[in-house]
Chain A
């Protein structure tokens, strides 16, 4: 609460005190010339302090609106940055932190604006505030979307388990694979859902590998990543290496009782080919 508010409350309080006195004693209070003159003085000063308080809030509101406008523009996180971070280890946490901080800052500003508007009136700032409120809601949606992606595990902690390779036979039927809807973009979004969520407790890691078959029939790894499994939908984003001819994506998982236990753990996988 500002000094203007305090001063206004003091003068208004004095007028209310006089009101209380008049209520008790009636008009005889005003027989005194001093009381009559004091009343006029008190009322005028109370009105002035109230006006000053309103002007002060209008000034604060104007400043806060221009700050909100600048902040809205500067805090915008580029979609390419979001996509890129989702393909990096630790990127998901960085993204959630950035988006949450952005929302906290915007909401704090919005609360200030709303409290100044209460005193100073809405004025012409409504479109800017509505834009900021929409931005807050969209960021909340973006945070939920980012949280739905699987956490990328550190390669150094799990790569040794595959140092001697892995074994596979055919395609697995433990999950339903949902291929990417947009295959022309820079990144591919795809997901999988386990038929029975109870198997998630038995799964060590989800492994995604993109390889390219060359003319000699050798496979070259273009991308690989390990993910922490989760119940319900498992959501992934990878760079679109599949535009390269002969490339294919292997999506699958390893069992806990084999991964890091036996030399060639079984890879329960499915294969997705875009450009054969």
Chain B
């Protein structure tokens, strides 16, 4: 399985960079969860998809925020190696989280 994944990334370097960008965005999101008072985009999600359990919003947020951050970072920053891809994802994820924090505090 591991060899198959490795071979896939060798043949598709752009997919590898996108994965690393997503990984960076995920790292950023995981770091944001250190602060238990951080609500993220829960208020927005509860308006879009109302009357669901808290764990549903947690899962949706965990899937959406790193995905959006990684796509934005990959398209706008166009990273060329895995290090710059990972830090591009981390940077954008951090930016999104900072924006959300600002809107939550309002």
Contacts and interface: CB of A to CB of B under 8 A. Distances in A.
B28 to A, nearest CB: 9
Interface string A120-164: 111000000000000000000000000000000000000000000
A120 B54 CA distance: 41
Contacts of A118: 10, 13, 16
Q: In terms of DSSP, what is the predominant structure of the interface of chain B?
A: helix
Contacts of B86: 47, 50
A23 B36 CA distance: 16
Contact of B55 (A26, A30, A119): A26
B54 A36 contact: no
A194 B34 CA distance: 84
Given A26-B55, A27-B58, A31-B36, A19 B84 contact: no
Interface stretch (B43-51, B75-83, B98-106): B75-83
6 contacts: A27-B36, A30-B33, A30-B34, A30-B36, A51-B83, A54-B81
Interface of A: 1, 12, 15, 18-19, 22-23, 25-28, 30-31, 36, 39-40, 43, 46-47, 50-51, 53-54, 115, 118-122
- Complex A-B, nearest 5 residue pairs according to Cβ-Cβ distance, in ascending order: A121-B81, A26-B58, A26-B55, A54-B83, A121-B80
Given A40-B34, A118-B16, 5 more contacts: A12-B23, A15-B23, A15-B26, A47-B86, A115-B10
